[in-house]
Structure 1
């Protein structure tokens, strides 16, 4: 998966004489890659853990995350797409040298994410086969590496995101529909929860658990050629499609988990999401969850590894020259690290915390770029999106400090 010239890469820009069908395929590929990477094992586990803790009130963080996702993706993707610059290169344009800090910071955040992704795949395999999570993590690492080694790796990644994304929606919908919670009360709690003060931490962490997918999609826009102001319409379509797919999966997942908890069931701490599916649809539901978790995890392992390396490959030429090898090394390193720590649930929760802290820094840099003609040319970024993005940066920056202490008290202390 080399930068722009190898046979498994897309053209650097879409021209008017290229088939529309190719453009539509590019839009779907980016949208599904973003959605499946953002609704990965971290989000699955975080939703189950927090729904178990906050019950019906968890409808509010799920509802609020939809609007936060809109604000992040629409700002990030438009500016990355119009400029044709990856996030780290955009930051270097805003302030020389800043891209190195942003790229390395996000790559480190991606390490935390991949610990969670490999952990999620190992938990999914434990459900499906009964094998220990150590062997599951090893298998996940080997499979992820294999995907990058095969010919046309980027094409395989896009195909995997589309087909496995559809499979995830079908499986989660089946369990959600088999045990729906009281919808009137749930909709009411999504707007007016009983205790909104306690819901800041779960809101920020599930956003942090999804943000890797937003970065991955933004980086992929450049690689598939959806860049430049003339491509604003397909960029917006890709963003709307990605947001819509992710939102559908999130809502169905919450309904599936809360539908079980509403019956009075208590979820097992070792693997709460799996236990929710077992209560909701019996042993079949338990195996369905194992498959969902493994599917979500392996797509996130691949997508997140691609994203991590894409964040540094334009900063360090040797990474761009050997991109596949670096992706394989990244997967191998995070798989071994996951095995050594052997704390899958905590790692999945911690990944969301780390990335919720990094997010306002990245989004703030992107918003600064919206008024730079040397970056976006004559493009006029909508004022309402700038205002929404600024509000997200402000709220998440202020909330990060209390979020860390609350997380420590609830999950570590």
Structure 2
């Protein structure tokens, strides 16, 4: 009896650990340096009205993540394999787009790591980016890469939240106006919504937590209720963090501080943190941005490489090697670019927002028309209808925003 109890306890602990790892992989990927920089840029531009864009991103996140996590659990396949099984060739297209998007995002993530270490220690951003990328590579070279990955994501995720709460309290934001404009905004800016959705839901981020559960074997109808709870928990964590970060920067903007959005060296989020807490604010910003960057470098590389399975199945060792190569290549691209880091971070969010509708279309089709891929499970119809609505919305926003997103880089 004692042995059975111990075995059951270990199994439950493993289950909890697996779901917690997936939650934080999704959350830390969604709260990356891109979102931090985008939040500062768009809060300076829109003020309290940006709260509506955050709410829109959370609603879209809810529908996208919940459906993709659940359908992935039911198909027991990663996203590209599910897509190929549903529509021959679609998995290859999705894999190529996500890998390219993940590479673009990882260049931005490494740039964010450079900005974070610059804020903390005054290091040149390119040197800081290189250090951050090498640390991420070290995680995947470890003999206990899986355990190290999970613990790093959880620890750094909690650190980000605590540090941002401190700044949000100090900046004394106009919470009432922000709440009002969350529902009734003075202005609705579609390019902004598309960019913020891309930075928090689009591209590889959509599949990060689902693929982590898949790797841990937490799939099938028997785990569906737990997968649903984990997905909702992850969305809750990211939603709270998004509003806290927004409020921290809004308090600074509302106090009359003008953030520099025009110069090549512009780092608006750093300016906001420094305005709230002076020198300490700059250091805290550095910690938050660097933690967001390193976790997102890990998440982008891990998830993007998981899509390679549609071309050739990789064992754990081969996948870790491919992940190291992916990070190293991202670093080389970053070091070769002359684009300002903040511009990279805003652009990649928009790019990934254009990838989102393609994958969501495929998964919505699977839910409606391919129960055979889900073990005969008849998928929840209200969730599918919500998925179809969000799918149409993301296509519309994507087409509306192509021009303005690229125009941002030339501004």
With normalisation by structure 2, the TM-score equals: 0.93
User: Is the 1:27–1:237 contact (alpha carbons within 8 Å) kept by the matching residues of 2?
Assistant: no
Counterpart of 2:364 in structure 1 is: 367
After superposition, what is the alpha-carbon deviation per residue over 1:230-273, rounded to whole angstroms, capped at 9, x for unaligned? 11111012101111111111010000010100001011331000
1:260 lines up with 2:252 in the alignment: yes
User: Which structure 2 segments of 5+ residues have no match?
Assistant: 1-6
Pairwise mapping of residues 213-362 of structure 1 onto structure 2 (< 5 A)?
Answer: 213-269=205-261, 270-317=266-313, 322-343=318-339, 344-362=341-359
Aligned residues: 397
1:34 lines up with 2:30 in the alignment: no
Q: 1-side partners of 2:231 and 2:41: how far apart? A: 28
Q: CA deviation at 1:317?
A: 3.5
Counterpart of 2:178 in structure 1 is: 186
Pairwise mapping of residues 152-163 of structure 1 onto structure 2 (< 5 A)?
Answer: 152-163=144-155
Q: CA deviation at 1:204?
A: 1.2
Q: 2-side partners of 1:41 and 1:91: how far apart? A: 29
* Compared CA separation, residues 318 and 35, structure 1 to 2 (3 A): closer
Pairwise mapping of residues 100-249 of structure 1 onto structure 2 (< 5 A)?
Answer: 100-196=92-188, 199-211=189-201, 212-249=204-241
SS in structure 2 opposite 1:227?
A: coil
Q: 2-side partners of 1:314 and 1:191: how far apart? A: 42
Q: 1-side partners of 2:56 and 2:230: how far apart? A: 21
With normalisation by structure 1, the TM-score equals: 0.93
Counterpart of 2:374 in structure 1 is: 376
Q: 2-side partners of 1:235 and 1:302: how far apart? A: 22
1:62 lines up with 2:44 in the alignment: no
After superposition, what is the alpha-carbon deviation per residue over 1:32-85, rounded to whole angstroms, capped at 9, x for unaligned? 111011110010101111111111111110111111110110111000011111
User: Is the 1:65–1:203 contact (alpha carbons within 8 Å) kept by the matching residues of 2?
Assistant: yes
- Deviation above 3 Å: which 4+ runs of structure 1? 15-18, 317-321
User: Is the 2:108–2:348 contact (alpha carbons within 8 Å) kept by the matching residues of 1?
Assistant: yes
User: Which structure 1 segments of 5+ residues have no match?
Assistant: 1-14
* Compared CA separation, residues 379 and 389, structure 1 to 2 (3 A): same
Q: 1-side partners of 2:56 and 2:157: how far apart? A: 23
Counterpart of 2:4 in structure 1 is: none
Q: CA deviation at 1:16?
A: 8.0
User: Is the 1:313–1:323 contact (alpha carbons within 8 Å) kept by the matching residues of 2?
Assistant: no
